Structure 1
Amino acid sequence: MRYTKRYLILVLVIITQSISAIFLRDIVPIPLFGTLTELLLFSLFLFMDGVLAPLLLDSVIASIAFPLTIVTILILLQRDLSPEYILLYYTGLAVAISFLVLLRSLWEITSRSWSRRGLKVDIRSLLLSTIFVVGTFLLSKSPFLLIGSIVDLVLISFLRNVSMIPLSALSWLATPYLLLQEPQPSSKGLCIGEIKMKLLRNLVPGIFQGNYRYKWIPSEGEYCVDYSKLKNYNSTIVGSSGYGKSTVAKKIVSKLNANYIIFDIHGEYSDIPGERIDVSKTSINPLSLFGKSPKQRSLEVATMLKSIFNLGSLQTMEISNLLLEAYEEKGIYEEDPDSWLLRTPNFRDLIILIEKKKSLYNNSQMINRLEGLESYIRFLDSNIFNSDYNFNKIFNNKIILDFSNISVSYIKYILIESILNLIFSRFNEEKSDKLRNLIVIDEAPFILSRESGRMLVDRIFAEGRKFGYGTMIISQYSKELDKVINNSAIVLSLGMREPSELEYMSKVIGGEHGEAQRTVYEMIMRLERGLIATRDLTTSDVIVFRLN
């Protein structure tokens, strides 16, 4: 519970002051002087308490309510306090607030925390707290303490935290403390960590500072993801090597009430539930139409080969035309959608077509151009691309696609892009208003660094939600991630060291204000393994949580 130590310190200070004043009154030999000594000390102490409260509690509202705690302590010590002495406390409070506004920063956690959550009464907390309220009144017979317990009861019912129910017996002693707490969300969703800190902006900028200041305050509660409340089901996890990105992904998918398809580049996901498929022992035809027209698919494959082999625009168009001709050789025509269901050509068929065209030309320049294209296609003439493995089984299941046994990078890339195209082709089959399948792409720059892969992932990110699909991108670097981060409902940053990466992620998480970005930058730079910085989009709070 946040601010527990600070609040206890303040309460102990009040108790110590009260006992000290009473003790000094009793040891002064002349009763009149003893009484004056007690009143003078109480006056000084109350003024000091008013100054101290906002500095310790970071809340004007809790500080305003704190005199009720002071009165309760004095009642328990069987001491009376004239109402006018409370004015001394508020005088000290006014001095402290003026000092903070002028020279430092005035902080207010209560209004910020309570306004960020929809206030909904927890009936169970309300009923259980009633027992303590009744017990308090029966023991004290004090209407003043009864009112305090009722106020506590109401606050606890909004906090929705069962562990705080006994505090309602403390009456006004607990009220400022309860105001410092944060109401828990009514629906949690998928919980993966414990919140440790939250970024707080001051209530007003210091007059001599001219801008808002930010600081990290202690916070508690579970970090939970409620997918039903997010704008989409996409997420991005970024962090330097060794900070546990894969561990975070495993935690999420293992607790997810949905199916998933994990693109496991390095064989790191062997310890989570699901069927593991060694992709090196499968096959897929990259020239499959995947529900698209021959012309569209020809352009996509040509762009993919351009991305792999750094082809020029002219070579890309020539390959696109050759592919379209290869489809027609198999009886697949642009204007005849029924023909799109026929068996498509493969790279070996494309080589045969090129050989056939070479035999028809006498122009050496044209033959040389075809031979140049053929040399690239022959690189792809592999058994892994010449037949179709039944990848339909990856849908509506928990699947780990293991690419770790494929050593040739361009073959691995083509397989990943082809399977992503297959997944994308299934989007239109069924719309869904909840998350049904999560696509996890580890080492995302491998696919996003190429134009064709980036375009495909952007489309999956943009269109997945209405069909019940979400995508999780995992990367050491934020480069190439601009578009996917902007379309991610969840962005998690683990520890980073590279200045340019830190600068970018501090802007993503910290927002537009430069001071917030600087504070987030410094935090991400010193995050240890297991700690994660993010912005909670349901409350707009920037938080740091520890993975469970």
Structure 2
Amino acid sequence: MRSYIIFLSVLILETIILYFIDITQNSLYSISITALVVIINGIMAFILFNSVLLSIISLPSFFSIYSIINRLNFYEMLLLISYYSEYYLIVTLVAFFIYSFVKRNFYDFLIDELKKVKFSFSLLKFIIGISLSLVLYWVLFFNPIFLVGSLLDSLAISLYGFYYELPLITFNWITLPYLIFPKTYKPPNKGVLIGKIIGKIGKGSSLDNAFYTSNSTYKWIRTDGIYYLDFNSSKNYNVIIIGTSGVGKSTLAKRIVNSLNVSYLVFDLHGEYEVQRAKKIDASKVTINPLSLFGRSPKERALEISLMVKSLFNLGNLQTIELTNLIIEAYAEKGIDENDSSTWNLSPPTFRDILILLEKKKKLATTSQDIIKYQSIEPYIQFLTSSIFNNSNVNISEILENNLIIDFSKIPTNEIKYILIETLLKSIQNTMYISGISNLKKIIIIDEAPFILSKESGKQILERLFAEGRKFGFGFIIISQTSEYIKELLANTSYFFIFNLVEPKELDYASKLFGGSDAQLYATIYETLQKLPRGYCVTRDLLRGEIYLLNLT
């Protein structure tokens, strides 16, 4: 808009000056002055718009203003255009090729912006525009050139303009550069307030107020606005937050849950969370039985538990198969039949029951091979007979209805901590399925997510929760210092925020995530992420593909 106003102001000033020169005459003086003005306009248009296409579209603006002021008829205006258009076109194209050669990149700002626009043709706007164009033609101008300009104005407005812009059709070619350029996109202004938008990345024009500039063709263009999360219009309720320690990741997660009118649950691995309105639970005092079925059949649950133990202790395939068979047999001893779902509500066995069953099998073993087989898994089962897994005092309904922080910092070993977390997630998943389809009703924050995602079983359950959560009203916020284990979750993520990064591998991934195959954009993102102070992050608006720099402080 600013570039257009400057361009239009200069054109009007030039026209006033040229009013005293009859540029339709073939005198050397008038031709030279007019050619010079046209050449200056061509250079100015390209510098202001950074678009050869928009510069060419702006060409008739000068001739239209001059023709209106000097009351030229159609033939005089046509003669004027035929005399001087070639000067404008040549200098504009030369400026474009020089710029492209210096930057080593063919770029047109208008084309780049049009790629981001979702065109929606409005027949009503078009009909109104055509009607107004015809009225102006017959009543005011009676000039086919002006009629063409008004019709192009109508087309631009009908594709991505507004009703209040229809009166601008009166100015035909003069307002076409403004109408054809997509209006500045503003992110949703409703939902969860995240922070202030201080810039968006782009190539822009020479007048853009840029900061965090780099050696690439991209720059951060200063932009004012507020950034919101609009879960109502997003494909799911999932958020991923990445950054080094102490940059504001937890602050962002707290801001999201405190702004939503739904309950939340925080998996706090290090005991660092303090959130208003939330009750804190010491996980070391929680008991839960991992062998609970959680809506699965005995065989399905046995396979899940075996995969969990395999992921934790790197069991071999034969050990995993034997553990699965033991668990299935332990279910059967408790009367839980694979083929009778009415028995699935019976009290399940515990790891202590499996250990007892294993001891029986060792005593009955007739070959050294069988004894060795049982002995190979015995230490792991013994480890899992911890009192924390002998019964269950967890009320999942209470967890899902209230704001809770589960503090895992006092759990003595990572293995026990992992099994407890995965079992809770399985229980939540089962309750989620039973509860049925719903709008957003629960947000679950998982801090230090690689602790879970680095295990095969944990990766599987989180991927499934991410993919299916929205239907049941569940959203997940994953927080991580590394991108290594979150890549598979991105396909089912609506929002991701990246704070300061320092490791080259992390910078490389994040820059490719935003920049794709564009090496210049990659370089700008790479440089920016290293410089971000605490409370600043980069995100992408998925509706338009705009990349924003946010200040959360």
TM-score interval w.r.t. the shorter chain?
0.7 to 0.9
Q: Which residue matches 1:472?
A: 477
1:307-386 equivalences under 5 Å are 307-361=311-365, 366-367=370-371, 369-386=373-390
The answer for the alignment partner of 1:494 in structure 2 is 499
Please tell me whether the aligned partners of residues 156 and 178 of structure 1 are also in contact (alpha carbons under 8 angstroms): no
Amino acid at match of 1:58: N
User: CA–CA distance in 1 between the matches of 2:183 and 2:259?
Assistant: 25
What corresponds to 2:199 in structure 1?
A: 196
- Structure 1 SS opposite 2:311: helix
Distance 1:268 1:156 in 2: 54
Shift of 1:186: 8.9
- Residue in structure 1 matched with residue 96 of structure 2 by the alignment: 97
**More moved, 450-459 vs 112-121:** 112-121
287, 290, 296: which one aligns with 1:292: 296
Go from structure 1 to structure 2 and tell me whether the alpha carbon gap of 1:345 and 1:201 turns closer, same or farther (over 3 Å shift).
farther
Give ranges in structure 1 of 5+ residues lacking alignment: 26-34, 123-140, 203-212
Q: Do the aligned partners of 1:113 and 1:183 also contact (CA within 8 Å) in 2?
A: no
Residues 179 and 351 of structure 1: is their aligned pair in 2 closer, same or farther, counting only changes over 3 Å? same
1:303 aligned partner, one-letter code: L
- TM-superposition CA deviations, 1:147-179 (whole Å, max 9, x none): 99xx79x979967899x9xx99x9999875676
Q: CA offsets per residue over residues 290-315 of structure 1, 9 Å max, x none? A: 11111121121122122222222222
Match for residue 407 of structure 2 among 402, 408, 415? 402
1:233-265 Cα offsets, whole Å, 9 max, x none, are: 433322233332223323333334544333222
Mapped to 1, the partners of 2:162 and 2:270 lie a distance apart of 43
Select between 241-250 and 439-448 the one with higher mean Cα deviation.
241-250
Shift of 1:66: 5.0
Following TM superposition, by how much is the alpha carbon of 1:447 offset from its aligned partner in structure 2, in angstroms? 0.6
Amino acid in the other structure paired with 1:270:
E
Matched letter for residue 332 of structure 1:
I
**Is 1:63 aligned with 2:62?**
no
Deviation (angstroms), 1:180: 5.4
2:221 counterpart residue number: 218
- Check conservation: 2:218, 2:520, Cα contact below 8 A: no
Quote the Cα distance in structure 2 between the aligned partners of 1:181 and 1:547: 26
The AA in structure 1 aligned to 2:516 is G
Identical columns (%): 38
Task: Specify the alignment match of 2:40 in structure 1.
Answer: 48
CA contact (8 A) 2:331 2:337 kept: yes
Opposite residue 96 of structure 1, the aligned amino acid is A
Q: How many residues align?
A: 509
SS of alignment partner, residue 537 of structure 1? coil
Q: Where do residues 237-316 of structure 1 align in structure 2 (5 Å cutoff)?
A: 237-271=241-275, 273-316=277-320
RMSD between aligned alpha carbons?
4.8
Q: Tell me the alpha carbon deviations over residues 206-242 of structure 1, each in whole angstroms, 9 at most, x when there is no partner.
A: xxxxxxx962462645444444544444333222333
Task: Describe the shift of the 1:344–1:532 C-alpha distance in structure 2 as closer, same or farther (beyond 3 A).
Answer: same
Q: Is the 8 A contact 1:284 1:384 kept in 2?
A: yes
Matched with 1:448 is: 453
Which of these residues, 521, 529, 533, is aligned with residue 524 of structure 1? 529
Aligned twin of 1:425: 430
- Determine if contact 1:114/1:183 at 8 Å carries over to the other structure: no
Tell me the equivalent position of 1:113: 113
User: 1:418 deviation in Å?
Assistant: 0.4
State the match for 2:398 in structure 1: 393
Deviation for aligned residue 1:324: 1.7
Work out whether residues 441 and 474 of structure 1, in 8 Å CA contact, stay in contact via their aligned partners in 2.
yes
Asked whether the 8 Å contact 1:258–1:436 carries over to 2, the reply is yes
- Match of residue 131 from structure 1: none
Q: Does 1:546 align with 2:528?
A: no
Distance in 2 separating the partners of 1:394 and 1:171: 63
Change (3 A) 1:438 1:364: same
Q: Deviations over 1:127-153 (max 9, x none)?
A: xxxxxxxxxxxxxx9999xx99xx79x
**CA 1:171–1:432 in 2, change beyond 3 Å: closer, same or farther?**
farther
Alpha-carbon contact 1:59-1:180 (below 8 Å) kept? no
- Return the alpha-carbon distance in structure 2 between the equivalents of residues 247 and 160 of structure 1: 39
Q: Is the 8 A contact 1:120 1:186 kept in 2?
A: no
1:66-81 to 2 correspondence within 5 Å?
66=58
8 A contact 1:278–1:401 mirrored in 2: yes
Output the TM-score relative to the length of structure 2: 0.73
Distance 2:467 2:323 in 1: 28
SS at match of 1:465: helix
The answer on 1:505 being equivalent to 2:547 is no
Distance 1:39-1:79 versus aligned 2 partners, 3 A rule: farther
| Contact 1:117/1:185 (8 A) holds in 2 | no
Whether the 8 Å CA contact 2:237–2:470 is kept in 1: the answer is: yes
Deviation at 1:50, TM superposition (A): 1.6
Give SS of 2:274's match.
Answer: coil
State how far apart, in whole Å, the 1-side matches of 2:115 and 2:275 are: 41
C-alpha contact (below 8 Å) 2:51/2:110 kept by paired residues:
yes
Change in Cα spacing, 1:496 to 1:187, as seen in structure 2 (3 Å) is closer
5+ residue gaps in structure 2? Answer: 21-26, 123-139, 144-148, 206-215
Residues 497 and 539, structure 2, Cα contact 8 Å, conserved in 1: yes
What whole-Å deviation, never above 9, does each CA across 1:441-473 have from its counterpart, x for those lacking one? 221110111121112222223333333333332
1:396–1:323 Cα change, 3 Å: same
Higher deviation after alignment, 228-237 or 491-500: 228-237
Distance 1:96 1:359, change over 3 A: same
Cα distance in 1 for partners of 2:121, 2:265 equals 39
The 3 A distance-change label for structure 1 pair 18 and 264 is: farther
Q: CA deviation at 1:46?
A: 4.2
Instruction: Summarize the Cα distance change of 1:280–1:71 in structure 2 as closer, same or farther, 3 Å threshold.
Output: farther
- 1:528 and 1:334 map into 2 onto residues whose CA distance is 56
2:473 partner SS: strand
| Aligned mates of 1:519, 1:392 — CA distance in 2 | 47
Aligned equivalent of 2:131: none
2:96 counterpart letter in structure 1: I
Deviation at 1:420, TM superposition (A): 0.8
Change (3 A) 1:529 1:182: farther
Deviation of the 1:330 alpha carbon: 1.6
Give TM-score, length-normalised by structure 1.
0.74
Structure 2 letter corresponding to 1:506: S
Report the counterpart of residue 133 of structure 1 in structure 2. Answer: none
CA distance in 1, matches of 2:98, 2:447: 51
Match of 2:126 in 1: none
1:421 positional shift: 0.6
Moved more, 468-477 or 385-394: 468-477
